[in-house]
Structure 1
Amino acid sequence: MQGHESAPDTWELLIRDRNREKNWDDAVKRREQLNRFCSFVAKWPNLARAYKHIHSSIRKSIDSPRVKLFEITPTIDPLQAALSNTESSTADSCTLSLDIHWGAQQIIELAGVRTINFSVETCIFIYYSYGDHTGVMTTDDSWDFQPSEGAVLLTFIDGNYNEHEDFDSTIQNAKSISTIVLLPK
């Protein structure tokens, strides 16, 4: 559904379709993803070129580990504090949780400074790129997202890492690859 570019018959088909709510919701999600992508390309063209370059190497293996990107922030729960008869009680709250889909590229918007952690069965390597900086970290590390530093491209690689091998060789030899762009809101 593109609105002004659609024939009236298309709208009638959508209205009659028993899955119209899901179809409309899917169309809205695609549009939001496209808007995020356009914003990314307009503001960070160099990272967008890297994102596109990696796109041709994106793939997934059925036996790659499940990876989750998340942020846990401590929160004060007044009710829990009152019930436990202590002055204050700290509980952890998951404010961000996102499954990494092997063989896919995702763009997510984040507001404010965030510490991003990773949950995975086995340690994997992550190539990062932002501004003029590139490097390698693992899922045992965390990422301190600073909106003032701009977009961050994280490339998750299920495969062997050799510090003497260039990035292109590494992604060509990987079993599975996925990218996430952390976009400042």
Structure 2
Amino acid sequence: MKIEELHLLLSAALEKTRITVPPETALWACAKDQLAMARAYESDGTTFAGRGDMVNALAGFFYAFGWLHFGCAYGTLITDMPIPPCPFIRPCRRLPGAVSGKLTEKSSRYERLLTTASASVTCAPDPSTPAYLLAARTLQVAYASACQGRWFLEMKREEDALAHFSYGHGWLDAGVRAGLFTIHAHREIFTVD
């Protein structure tokens, strides 16, 4: 998938996304946060793309999708589209060779970031509660994204690797902000404080 197509898919999804919970409630604050973060990273990705920085644009758009999909899974956001948008329907289009050094560095750094982040949290809800199920699902998404990303690195598909690492970290970061996890190490890599 071209970055331009990814951007259009994300923009269309965000335009049709709304908050599902009543205003001025705790869940409304979470939903507002999730939507704001998805929009902020869509905006950042747009800025990067406008400057020709497709590596950071790619990372920003997939991170935004992670926040959006987490919010939909949490039930605080809904996208009024016939089929929920999936950024992984096609492989990422290869970026120009001129950015290969930056792409290699960024995908390696984001792999370490996601691995470190996943190991730095524990599920906060009691295992007998529904909230625990979402926390466990969020960790599954993070772990699956890390595994997919590593596989793509082995296949020399660094664009797809970066996409998976960014997406997984978006999910995990959103879960932390929603209160589903206790941070026991590396607090600075999460969007808290």
TM-score by length of 1: 0.25
- The higher relative CO (CA closer than 8 Å, separation ≥ 6) is in 2
TM-score by length of 2: 0.25
Choose between structure 1 and 2: higher helix proportion. Answer: 2
